[in-house]
Chain A
Amino acid sequence: MSKRTIIPFGPQHPVLPEPIHLDLVLEDEKVVEAIPSIGFIHRGLEKLVEKKDFQEYTYVAERICGICSFIHGLTYCMAVEELMKIEVPERAQYLRTIWSELSRIHSHLLWLGLTADGFGFESLFMESWKIREYILDIIEETTGGRVIFGSAKVGGVRRDIAPAKLEEIVKKLRVYQKKINDLGMVFLDDTTVKHRTQGVGILTTENAKALGAVGPMLRASGVAMDIRMMGYAAYGKIGFAPIVETEGDCYSRCKVRIRELAQSIDIIEKCVQQMKEGVIEAKVTGFPNGEFFARSEQPRGEVIYYAKANGTKFLQRLRVRTPTFANITPLLEILKGCQLADVPILVLTIDPCISCAER
C-alpha cells in the first residue's frame, strides 16, 4: 500500500458555487475515500416557521434555494393545502406546472454551463448561460422576478398568464429548442467533452437504489423514478414518462439532463394546449391542522416537505429534505477510486445546491 495523503477540497474551490468541504484521502493520484462536512451556510429557515405565519412562510420557502425557488414554494404550498383540504383550481395547477418546467429548464442550463466551466470549456459555459438568459426573460415577464418567482401561494398562484402570451412563450421555446439541441450536441458528441465524462464516476443501479440517489443521478443509473409520475400539479393530466439512461456515468447524467430540457418544453406546450380559462386561486379560510409529507420533483431530484400544524396560524414543525442532501452519499461512493483531477467534475455532476441542503 502506498502512502496516504489527505487533501482538503472546498469549502472555497473554483468549481464550487457554494461551500461544501470534502477531505479526500489519496493514494498517489487515486481517491480512496472522501469524508464530507457540511454546515457552512446553515440559516435556520426551518425554525423560522414558528415566527412567520403559514402564508408568509411561502416567501421563506422560496428562498431556501435560489435556483429551484419556485418548486420549493410550490411544495410548501402543496403541504399546507393538503392540511387545510383546499382544492386548487385547475388553471392554477397548469400554471404551476409551466413555471416548474421553466425553472427546470433554467436550472439544467445553469448546470450545463457550470459543468462546461468545470472541465475548462469556457465558451460552452457562455453559450449555455446565454440560452438560460432567454428563459430567465420569459420567467421575469410572467412572474416579475428572475429567480425568485414569488408566484406560488397557498390555494393557487398569484399571477395569471394571458392566453396570447402563453402561445408566444411556446413559440419562443421552440426557437430556443434548436439552440438547446445544438448545445446538447456539443456535450454529447464532442470528443474532448466525452473524454472527461464517459466512464467516469459510475454509479451502479444497485448502489443508486441502496444509497438513496434522487433525480437525474438516479435516472442515469437506470431507475425510472420521478415524483412527477405521481401526478401532482397538472402532471397527472398531461401524461408523464421519466427519462432514463443506463450507464450511470457522468455522460449519462449529462444526457438525462439534456433530454429533460426537450421534455420540459414538450410539457409546457401540452399544458398550454390543455389549459382552460378559469380562476387561479381558491379562498383560504381557517388554519392548517394535522401533519403531511409533500413530495415533488425538483431539477435536482425529489424534495420532501414535512409539515405539522396544530390549528394555529403558525406551523408547529417543518422539515425539508432536499435532493442535494440525498445525493451526497452516492457522491461519496462515486468518488472512491476516481482520479484527483476528476473530483471537481464528479462533485458537479450531482448538481450540488448546498444552500438547499443546509437550509
Chain B
Amino acid sequence: MKLLVMAKSVLSNLFSRPVTERYPFVEKKYFVGTRGKVLIEIDKCIFCGLCQRKCPTAAIVVTKEQKGWEIDRLRCVSCNACVEICPKKCLVLDTKYAACSEKRYKDVFHA
C-alpha cells in the first residue's frame, strides 16, 4: 500500500515560484513564430486581391478602385494563407493577437 506518492511533487511545488504568469500585470512574451494578427504595410500594397481570394474565412476585403484593404478581426483565423500568397510581401503576421471585442469590427486601411 502506497500513500503520499505525490508528496515529492507537492513539496517541490510548495518551495518553488508559481508556474503561471500574472497576466495582465506581467506582459505576455510570445514566441517568434506565434501566429497573431495580420498587419499590412498599405503603402506597398498593389490591391491585387489575392489575399481576399485565398482567405478561407473571407475576412479580407480588397477594393481596387478606392485602394482600400479591410479585415474582419473576428473572422480571421490567423492561418497565414494571405501572408504566404502576397506577391509584394506587404502582409505580415504579428506575434500579438488582435484585441478582443464584443462586436464585429473591421480594421480599414487606405493607401
Contacts and interface: CB of A to CB of B under 8 A. Distances in A.
Interface of A: 52, 56, 59-60, 123-124, 127, 130, 133, 137, 140-145, 148, 150, 158-159, 182-183, 185-186, 189-192
B1 A191 contact: yes
A106 B53 CA distance: 34
Contacts of A183: 9
What range describes how many residues of B lie at the interface?
20 to 34
Q: Which secondary structure dominates chain A's binding surface? A: helix
24 contacts: A59-B77, A127-B6, A127-B9, A137-B31, A141-B31, A143-B33, A144-B34, A144-B35, A144-B78, A144-B80, A144-B93, A145-B78, A150-B78, A150-B79, A159-B33, A182-B8, A182-B9, A185-B5, A189-B5, A190-B5, A190-B6, A191-B2, A191-B3, A192-B3
Interface in B58-111: 77-80, 84, 93
Contacts of B34: 140, 144-145
Interface string B5-22: 110111001000001000
B80 A150 contact: yes
Interface of B: 1-3, 5-6, 8-10, 13, 19, 31-35, 56, 77-80, 84, 93
Nearest to A190: B5
B5 to A, nearest CB: 4
A239 to B, nearest CB: 31
Q: Which secondary structure dominates chain B's binding surface? A: loop
A186 B3 CA distance: 9
A186 B19 contact: no
A289 B77 CA distance: 29
B19 A133 contact: yes
Q: Which 4 A-B pairs have the closest CB atoms?
A: A144-B35, A190-B5, A56-B56, A141-B31
Contacts of A141: 31-33
A189 B2 CA distance: 6
A185 B31 CA distance: 32
B91 to A, nearest CB: 15
Nearest to B2: A189
Contacts of A150: 35, 78-80
The listed residue with most A CB atoms (<10 A of its CB), out of B1, B2, B32, is B2
Nearest to A53: B56
A186 B80 contact: no
A268 to B, nearest CB: 18
Contacts of B10: 123
Contact of A140 (B6, B9, B19, B31): B31
A59 B2 contact: no
B6 A186 contact: yes
B12 to A, nearest CB: 9
B98 to A, nearest CB: 14
Contacts of B32: 141
B3 A190 contact: yes
Nearest to A59: B56
Nearest to B93: A144
Contacts of A185: 5
Contacts of B80: 144, 150, 158
